[in-house]
Every structure is written in structure tokens, then in C-alpha cells.
Structure 1
């Protein structure tokens, strides 16, 4: 309020008690407390002088935590006038001049306006999200949950997917909320994570889970791509929502066509007659060496083998059972 171009108060309110405290409301003691208090008091005096208000009153609000009623604040020149309501505020603003940087002077012209003419500007969705997660308690919870989720994913041998994705989201948003990562950097990382998840969907059978996570990551990345505190520009929801929805529809259509082609036994999927008797090359094996994945006819299949195999081995397809190759190290 002290630094505002125009400062007004309504009856029944108060101003003051601005002594610096810690993030949890605790006192800042010792030399650090003195430094923070003196620095804040100097800033308050400078702002009060700049706006033509009493610098000593501004300093007392910081150093002594003094608080004033509207009448006291007006008397001590901490504010410019009293305004019981919006109509009174607009009336007193009319004709008032304020100085802006670069020797620019602005004159308020509010004549003929009333409370019904006021346009209220609410927070954007991005600002609402950032406001919600800015609470240090929320940040700590997000980072803790993210760490535990990643631990669960690593412990499972990266086979669960859900904890890993959830953990990455929580950690990124948690670090953004603590400003450890700038908002726009966090948005860019979420965008990158979204595209990485889309790429992973090609190689990992997630039944659409990675795609859904990628779409959510792209949406959040678009929201955070521009820091609202440093710029009025932002990615429009009118663009972001159709963009993410369009990507989702395209991927859904592609998945539908692939599934339909597989069910019809299309040219892209080998039939039993085509794959039985073919040579398969092992691409990955499980711990027992009897199961894993192998390429046959240019396609990647799960397999069961009658003898242990290693990556790179070639085996022969004896049969196809439940969409799994039955391999043998010898041709039968």
C-alpha cells in the first residue's frame, strides 16, 4: 500500500504490522533478523518518499510493527484518502495525477463511472494453479510424494509406470512452486516430458497410460510456459486446449486403426502360417532366459522358449500360442 500510486482505505480496516518474519511466521533472530528488518525499513522509507508519504510512519510499520486505523493512517500520511465504497473511491480519483517512469504523468478521468462500471479482472487459470501450489506445505508434500513415487518405480525395475510418471509430475511442480526452477523453465521441462512420454509409448506397452500422461504434461507445460509474474503474455487456453485435444484425437485414431488392423489380420501383422517356421532374433530376455521379446517377420513378439536364450540369439518359431511365439533353439 505504501508504494501504491494511490492509497485509500475503507472504514473498519487497518494497515501496518509489517515486521519481517520467517516463512512459517516465526521470528527472524540474530544478525540476519537485523539485516532483514533494516533492509525492509529502508525500502519502505524509499517507497513512501517516492509517493509523497511520511517515511517515518512507513519505517515504524516495519521496525515496530505499528498498525493504524484508516483515520490514523490518513493523519500520519500513510494513505491519501478514505473511501467508504467504490463510488466514493472513483469520485475522489477523478482528476488526480500520478507520476510514472520516464517523466510520464497520468491523470485519472473517472467522472461518470460508478461501482457498476468497474471491470473485475480475476486470476487466470495459470495464476490460480501457481497460487494454489505456492504454499510451502503443498510444495513439501509434492516433493515428498514425488520422491516416494520414484523410489517405488525404481524398486519395481521400472515396470509399474504409474509411480514413475506421478513422481516426475510431483517433483517438477514442487520445484516450480518453490521457485527452485523458474516457472517458464518448468513449463519447458513439462513440454519435453510430454514428448518423451509420447516417444516412450512406441516402445512400451502401457495401454494408453503414457499417452494420457503425455497429454497432461503438454497441457501443464503450456500453462507454465510463460511466467505470469514477469509478463502479461500467456498461451491462450483457446489454443492450448484444442491443441492438446487434437494431439489426443490423432493418437486415439492411430491406435484405433492399428487395433482394427490387428484384429483383421492385416498386412502389418503376421498370421500363424507366416510366422511359424520363421527365424526369430532375441531382442530382450527375462531373468530365467526362457521368456522375453524377439523379432520375427519384422515384428516384435513376446516369446516362450524351451531352453534358455540370450540377447542376439536366433531361434526357430515352433508355434504361435496366445499371441506369443513358442521358440526352440533347434529346428523341428
Structure 2
């Protein structure tokens, strides 16, 4: 057998070496069968061989990252990650969180996705020094398992300016005509309404997960906060883990209810894999920055204005339309104050009117003021990460003012400029006679051929000046009066 295998490899089939094992020369079926058998053994061994870690296939859990303020992009990223985990039948999902809070609509979108997820969701506040403040506290309460690392904190879940208010409202309610105090101020009523709604929401989450509902209410009403160890003692969270290995070890064997079913977590040999945001989430996160959205809107407005002032340029109009629509989409998913939006639209309209009906800057300056005021109150939230920065607002204001000054200056220069077309421009223009007979002919003025009438003595090549315009016929006179004099009689 060994000799035959060696023969297969070397091609020698006889002891004397006279015959070679060549299919092409001998046509024997002996060698092909040996070759096929050898390949069958190799493929069988490969099929039976299990590479290291293959026994753990399917034992990977995704890790979603919430780092920073929670906005539309964060919500889209987390909701999409939970949906993919459900499609792939992941054993669990870990949300590693460090957030100061965020927008109410984005937070509720994430919580809805967690509550309907058939895959257990473990929210882990990490690393040390991280926090789950405001919106992060709600997400922690909604998770199937709430965990924190030592040196972290949660709480301060009081809602701020949910739904907005009137920025021009007086600080105190005036008394009625009888001198008695009136009803509660509108701003106070709106604040109480938002707080009561938030209390009911977080208490429902606490009762659903069997956690301390009283402290949850205190976190909303009095902005209470807890450290990781204190939260564990108060039954606000389920466990404190030093790192992910410790987290997986403590999760093993824990039973949770997800998707209406009891699931016992098996975290032995489980591998955690971070899932980075895709290009769509990163793009959404960029344009939903209110500062970026405002700049995009400004570029869009001025791009369209330049296109309207110079039809056919194409580039300003195309870029402007794209930027304007992108900026409007960003504002559509952000909490917007409608008074601010109305002021911005008014400012755009006034600046456009300045471009088409120059008023020496009056409309432009009015549009600039309206635009700046609207931008200042546009975003209706107290979350610092989702407010327009004053340096950006100042830069946009200066750019708008500069553009208004440029447009006004161009309008003033155009108003003072000499007329370059029409009847006023033709009178006084000089030209050359092309042909002349009986006081009429053709002249060349402003690189154009015109019919003309004038003195009868003009000849071709004579210089003339336009004195009047009658329809499409010019009245001309010779510049050199001698050119129009009749020739002297021969003696």
C-alpha cells in the first residue's frame, strides 16, 4: 500500500523503473482510482475536522454603544441593532452606556425597541466614571438586566422643556381684575404635566422589571442620583460588574422574560462583539447636530439666491437645494420651536426679496434680524448637546450680514451705473456709414447694422452720431460737418 502510494506520487509503477504511472501514456485506470481515493480521504478529513472555536459558533452577542447625548441617530442605531440581533437569534444584546441624557422622542424609541425585543437586553453603564443620567436612567430601568461598573452613577431624570414652552412668557402670573391670584401659570402647568407624565412612565418601567419604583419617582421629581453600589442596595439595578468578563459570569444562569417567554441566560464561552454605527447612522448623527443643520440651511438659502440672481449657473442652485433639503430634514427630526422656525422662514423670504427687489439693504437687514432671532430659539430643548452654540450663531449672523451688505452694495452700484441698453443708451452713440443714398441708408453702431436717415450728403465710411431713435430707425448726423457738405460745382 505504501509502495502504491509512493508510486502514485513519483509516477513509478515497476521495480525496474521501465514503466511510469502516467494516465496519458498507459491509459491504465489504476492511478485515477488511487488519486480519487486520496482526494476523498483528504476531503473527508477536512469535513470531520473542527477548527478551534467552531463549537462556539452562534455564541456571539452584539454590543451596542451609547456614548454621548441620545438623539435621533442614537435611536436609529440602537433600534436597528436590536432588530438585527433578533433576526440573527443572538443569545443577548449588551448596551454599553455613558450618557448625560438626550431627547425624549429618541429615548422613547429606544425603550419601545427594548420592550418588544425577543432578545434579552443587558444595559451596562461603563467604564468607571460613566453615567446614566436623565434619559439613560429610563433606558436602564427598561432593560431586562441593569448593570453598572463601580465608579458610575445614574439619576437626575427630571424632564426639561419637553414639548417646549413660550420663550416670551412673563416670569410670574399676573393677578386678575379682582386682585386675586389667577390660575397656575401656563409654564408651570406645562412643567407639572411633563413631570407627572415622566413619573408615570418610569414607574411603569420599574414595576415591569421589579425594581424600586419609589426611587425612580424621586429621580424624576427631585433629580435624585445614586452611585452603583447604592443603586444595587436600593434594587434599582440588578448587578455591579467590574468588567465584561465579570458581567458575563454574573449573567450566567439568570432568568429573564423577553418577548413573553422566560429565558435562562447561558453566557459560558460567549463572545461579545462591538457593533459600530454604520454610515447611515454616522451621517444622521452629523446632520442632526443643530449647528450643522443651521449651516446647511444657510448654504442652501444663499445657493438658491445666487442661482436666481444668475440663472444658468447650476452649481449654486444644485448645491443649495441639496443643503437646504438636508437641513430641513435634520430639523424635522429635532425638537423645533415653531416660533423660531417661522422667524427663520420670514428671514429667508425677506433676504430673497432683497435679491429680487433691491431696497438698499432694508429688507436684507430685516431678514438678517429675523433669521438670527429664529435661530436663537429654534431648538426647543435644554439638552446642551442639542442647542445651537453661540459661536456658530454669531458666525452665521456675520455671514448673513456680510451677504446682505454685498447685495445692497451691488444694488446701489447698479442704480448709479449709466444705462447700457435701450433708447437712452443709443442716443449719442457713434457709428460708421455702411451705405447711403437720398438721405437714408445703413449704419454700423454698437457692432450692429441699423437702418438710418439723415443728411443727403453722407458717404460710405463717414462717421456719424445718433441723435434719435424712431422704432428701429436711427436719426444720425455727421460728426465731421464737412462730410455732409455737397461737392463744389465744377468750373
TM-score, normalised with respect to structure 1: 0.50
> Over alpha carbons, which structure has the higher Rg?
2
